[in-house]
Amino acid sequence: MLIRKTYGKFIFFMLIPILTVAQEWHSLSSDISANINAVDFFSETEGFLVGDGGLLYSTNDGGDTWVQQVAGTDSNLYGVCCINDLLAVAVGSNGLIIRTVDGGNNWMEVTLPSALAWDLLSVSINPGGTGLIGGAAQTILTTMDHGENWNIVQTDMMGGSFPGAQMVNENLGFLYGQNSIFAPLIARTVNAGISWNFVTFYLVEGQTGYEGKLYDGYFFDELTGLTAARRWDGWGCISETDNFTDWTTLHFYGIPLKAVDFLDDSLGYIAGDSGTIKGTDNAGTDWFAEDSGVTTNLRGLSCVGGSRCYAVGENGTIIRKILTPQGILGDVNGDSSLDILDIVRIVNIILLLPPEPSAYEIWAGDLNLDDQINVLDIIALLNLILESRLERPAAESNL
Ligand SMILES: [Ca+2]
Ligand SMILES: [Ca+2]
């Protein structure tokens, strides 16, 4: 019995390096050499990125290939938001807003009610059509119609800016930035931009409150969220709140943090300068270092579909992480047991019968880990089912 248990543990540890390797960040190749400022995906495979000099690219294969779009501008683009498979909006220098209604084949400039000279830095639009743009001089724009028309809420403030925007749902939205006296500033709307609450705070470490700028943030609901910042002395930090008003700054790093996104209510990432990526699996309470594989400054991050994150940055940097789904290998239908239903689903996937398999199904169905689903996986699953029927000890049946 002792020998059997030891053997089981040995195999368990053997598997760890394989899973770790599958969860690394990997550089994606493209012909882009300019600085990339933002990225947004609306499905696991389809997304856009924007950057300096009118840089605008799309992908429909999860970032393996990037295709240049005709942005119709040489101005810097700082933010992009994919609303669905047809609609996307990008924002940039001197009040520039461009929009596509055909999945990126054509981009048209959007005319504002009155001309803006300030740079627009961030955009987030809900699938329902409500959205926000944040810009220099604390500019706030809102839309109710998927970005076709924009209302100027405020602009021309003395200094400050909103480099980060987030629509949490159709009504709840946030802008992240800095106020006129160099302190972190957050704007919140709970009614799709009709009215706004503002909160400002200092980045307190020990007895010292530092000025600084929020580059991005992520709220889970009206009250609970966190921000990624650059302190005035160049340090980066993460601040958290559970009531919107009171903020605690707990995590300090030697580099500025520029972008944050979450895959779900617990798993998220923050990207920053010098290729820095931090990850959390408990909604931001603890952060661990990730190996991004790059040293360039990262500026944008997009997590999508529960299993993929993309980060972009200076000099054409694009990196991707594909996470191994949580679950039981072979449990394709996700009901926590291995049986004939899982075999039926694998057969359907092999026969290309609809619906198209999800990322989880593709992971759970590839039992022999060779990146394809075929009859070998059915044999492996049959063996697993037979083994479990023989009531072997748990350590061995997991093999
Ligand atoms: Ca099952
Ligand atoms: Ca396989």
For residue 398, report the distance from its CA to the centre of ligand 2, in Å.
Answer: 17
- How far, in Å, from the CA of 213 to the mean position of ligand 2? 48
Q: How far away, in angstroms, is 262 Cα from ligand 1 center?
A: 28
Together in a domain, 234 and 378 = no
- Domain at 159, CATH number: 2.130.10.10
Cα–ligand 2 centroid distance for 204 (angstroms): 51
Give 347 Cα–ligand 1 centroid separation in angstroms. Answer: 14
Q: How confident is the model at residue 363 (pLDDT cuts 50, 70, 90)?
A: confident
In a domain, 28, yes or no: yes
Q: How far, in Å, from the CA of 201 to the mean position of ligand 2?
A: 52
The Å distance, Cα 391 to ligand 1 centre, comes to 18
67-68 β-sheet, strand order: 36-41, 47-51, 55-59, 67-68
Structure tokens at 173: 């939205």
Q: Is residue 19 part of a domain?
A: no
Cα 374 to ligand 2 centroid, rounded to whole Å: 6
Torsions phi, psi of 3, nearest 5? -60, -40
Ligand nearest to the CA of 342: 1
- Return the number of other C-beta atoms located less than 10 Å from residue 233's C-beta: 9
Q: Ligand 2 centroid vs 166 CA: distance in angstroms?
A: 39
**How far is ligand 1, taken at its centre, from the CA of residue 372, in Å?**
19
The whole-number pLDDT of residue 204 equals 96
With a cut of 70, say whether residue 287 has pLDDT above it: yes
- 235 and 356 co-located in one domain: no
Arithmetic mean of pLDDT, 283-309: 94
What is the tens place of the pLDDT at every residue in 184-217?
999 999 999 999 999 999 999 999 999 999 999 9
> Nearest ligand to the C-alpha of residue 388?
1
Cα of 346 from ligand 1 centre, angstroms? 11
Q: How far is the CA of 265 from the centre of ligand 1 (A)?
A: 25
**pLDDT grade for 394, boundaries at 50, 70 and 90:** low
Domain encompassing residue 179: 24-322
Which token pair is 115?
Answer: 């001309």
Quick one: 316 and 336 in the same domain? no
Segments in 63-150 forming alpha helices (H): none
CATH number at residue 360: 1.10.1330.10
Residue 14 — very low, low, confident or very high, per pLDDT cuts 50/70/90?
very low
Contacts of residue 269, Cβ cutoff 8 Å, sequence gap at least 6 = 260, 261, 262, 277, 278, 279, 280, 290, 301, 303, 309, 311, 321
Work out how many domains the chain is built from and give that number. 2
Ligand 2 centroid–CA 330 distance in Å is 11
3-class state of residue 237 by DSSP: strand
Q: Does 10 fall in a domain?
A: no
Return the ligand number nearest the Cα of 370.
2
Claim to verify: residue 243 and residue 274 sit in the same structural domain: yes
Q: Given this model, what pLDDT does residue 334 score?
A: 87
CA dist 33 and 10 (Å) reads: 46
Q: Is residue 170 part of a domain?
A: yes
1 falls within a domain: no
Q: Average pLDDT, whole number, for the chain?
A: 91
Q: How far is the CA of 281 from the centre of ligand 2 (A)?
A: 29
The answer to whether residue 323 scores a pLDDT higher than 90 is no
Supply the pLDDT for residue 141: 98
Ligand 2 centroid–CA 348 distance in Å is 14
- Asked, for residue 85, whether it belongs to a domain, the answer is yes
Please compute the mean of the pLDDT values over residues 163-169 and round it to a whole number: 98
Same domain, 37 and 162: yes
Q: Are residues 279 and 332 in the same domain?
A: no
Residue 190 lies in a domain: yes
